[in-house]
Amino acid sequence: MRDGDDDPLGERALGSEQVFDGVLLKVWRDRVKLPGGGESVREYVRHPGAVVVVARLQDGTLLLERQFRYPLGRAFLEFPAGKIDPGEDVLDCAKRELREETGYEASAWRYVGVMHPCIGYSDERIEIFVADELSHVGHAWDEGEFLEVLNWPVQAVEAAIHAGRITDAKTITAFYRALPFIG
């Protein structure tokens, strides 16, 4: 249950039940008391959190992936990212996802901040990192994971955002949060 008692806009949980327990998705439905005194229902995904990595090669290009995203039925250009394992440190997760998905290790890491991709119906947070001083050690894709790794100049990434070729909000958000450190 999520309580917002200290905020005049806050909603107070009256009850909470899990309504779907999937392999990936965990969905909950809560009854809530509204600020005006009425009651309503809130349905939402509980998510373990994730990381996204803006990784810069020695030549200044940024690592991108092209990955098929089933809910939308097509591949997207996006920065390396992935879910946090239970108990895993967020920086360890960022290092793991970068290595597994792109085959690179980085010796310089900077934590940039957090974003929330889907505040209407998910508690997911995504922690943003910038990775520098990369060396290639070979990827380790999960079974059933298929992706292409690309590297693009910073200006090409920004141009693709404004041309609508990159539409993934976590990638666009991470790019602009990282830009002061990579520009």
In this chain, which of 45, 149, 150, 154 binds a second copy, going by CB under 8 A?
45
CA distance 98 to 91: 11
Q: How far is the CB of 91 from a second copy (least distance, A)?
A: 17
Among 53-61, 88-96, 100-108, 168-176, which window interacts with a second copy (CB under 8 A)? 168-176
> What track of x and - describes contact with a second copy for positions 114 through 153 (by CB under 8 A)?
xxxxxxxxxxxxx----------------xx-xxx-----
CA distance 45 to 60: 37
In this chain, which of 55, 56, 67, 160 binds a second copy, going by CB under 8 A?
67
Total of residues contacting a second copy (CB under 8 A): 71
Coil, helix or strand at residue 150: strand
Closer residue to a second copy in complex, CB, 114/133: 114
Q: How far is the CB of 111 from a second copy (least distance, A)?
A: 11
Footprint of a second copy on residues 93-112 (CB under 8 A)?
A: none
128 and 113 in contact (C-beta within 8 Å)? yes
Give the active site residues: 143
CA distance 171 to 48: 19
Q: Which of 89, 130, 132 is nearest to 107 (CA)?
A: 132
CA distance 94 to 159: 26
Among 87-95, 98-106, 129-137, 159-167, which window interacts with a second copy (CB under 8 A)? 159-167
DSSP state for residue 37 in the 8-state scheme: S
In this chain, which of 34, 91, 108, 140 binds a second copy, going by CB under 8 A?
34
Pairing of strands 39-46, 50-55: unpaired
